[in-house]
Amino acid sequence: KQTLLPLLREETSSFVFPCHPAVQRPELQHMVMELLRCIPLLLFLLFVCGLDHFIFSILSIIQHHSFVQYSYQTSHHLSVNVMGTSLMAQLLRGTIGALNTSFDTEVETSNLACLPQPSGMTRRQYLDTCLPLGALALLCLVQVYPFRLRRAIAAFYFPKREKTRVLFLYNKLLRQRKNFLHLQRERIARQARQPPGLATSLLQWCRRRWPWLRRFLRRSCTLCGTPETPRHRPCPDPECGALYCEQCW
């Protein structure tokens, strides 16, 4: 509870607040990892769709440019004329005359039956193919909200374990805060020993020379870096001039 141990600004980013609608930093890393796992599926889907379109284009080109049609026409006429009025001539006309034939042949064929008959996928089919992957990506974004219920469910079934976890977290925060303040003191001390740069000296001179520029040339907290507000407190040492926000002070 915040009344027990108010969180510092640096500590707030490491916790998940269940009632906060936005995705928070601890959840963001897990969500990004889940989205990265969808990238191989997306690449595979794009490869399959591209391969399908490529094969369809090749088969369509073969179908339109490999069509061949054959047309075959032939005529055959056989006529045997036996002249004369004798018995032999009449006999030959009766026997050899049966060989007289006449026929015309016209054949048309093509290789249409041997050509491929491709059918491309419609936009609706492409959409139905990509819809499961889109639903999976949406679930990766939405899953952070059901995951927030895990602690509440575990606390309901295991209240003693929840109390132990809270005490452990409380002591851990105290240790981290103590080490954090110790490190920040050393950092600020090293920063104070260094001579100010040209840009810092110029800004300080401008602030002293033209006080109305202070609303534009606002300083920030030495510890957390928040912009200057009326609640910020300067260091009482006149030689220091460091500025701190109320919480860090």
Q: Is residue 131 part of a domain?
A: yes
Q: Which of 27, 15, 14, 17 is nearest to 142 (CA)?
A: 27
- Alpha-carbon Rg for the chain, nearest whole angstrom, is 46
Asked if 222 and 188 touch (Cβ cutoff 8 Å), the reply is yes
Counting the structural domains of the chain, the total is 2
Q: Does residue 190 belong to any structural domain of this protein?
A: no
3 state SS of 70: strand
Q: Is the pTM of this model over 0.75?
A: no
**pLDDT (average), residues 144-161:** 91
Residues 215 and 134 in one domain: no
Do 30 and 116 lie in one domain? The reply is: yes
In a domain, 82, yes or no: no
> Directed axis angle between helix 123-142 and helix 25-65, to 10°?
170
Range of the domain at 216: 201-248
More confidently predicted of 23 and 197: 23
Residue 139 confidence (pLDDT)? 92
For residue 90, how far is the Cα from the chain centroid?
Answer: 97
pLDDT digits over 44-68, tens only? Answer: 999 999 999 999 999 999 888 888 8
Q: Are residues 146 and 205 in the same domain?
A: no
Q: Specify the pLDDT at position 209.
A: 65
Task: Quickly state the pLDDT bin for 134 (edges 50, 70, 90).
Answer: very high
Contact between residue 82 and residue 92 where contact means Cβ atoms under 8 Å apart: yes
Q: What is the DSSP letter of 121?
A: P
Half-sphere exposure of 77 (CA within 13 A, CB side): 3
What local confidence, expressed as pLDDT, does residue 247 receive? 75
Quickly state the pLDDT bin for 218 (edges 50, 70, 90): low
CA within 13 Å, CB half, 216: 7
Whether residue 31 is found in the same domain as residue 128: yes
Position 125 in a domain: yes
- Residue 66 has what pLDDT? 86
Are both 131 and 205 inside the same structural domain? no
- Tell me whether residue 189 is in a domain: no
Q: Do both 129 and 215 map to the same domain?
A: no
Instruction: Please report whether residue 163 resides in a domain.
Output: no
State the Cα–Cα distance between residues 232 and 117, nearest whole angstrom: 77
Mean pLDDT of 164-183: 86
Give 172 or 245, the one with higher predicted confidence. 172
How sure is the predictor about 216, in pLDDT bands with cuts at 50, 70 and 90?
low
63 and 140: one domain? yes
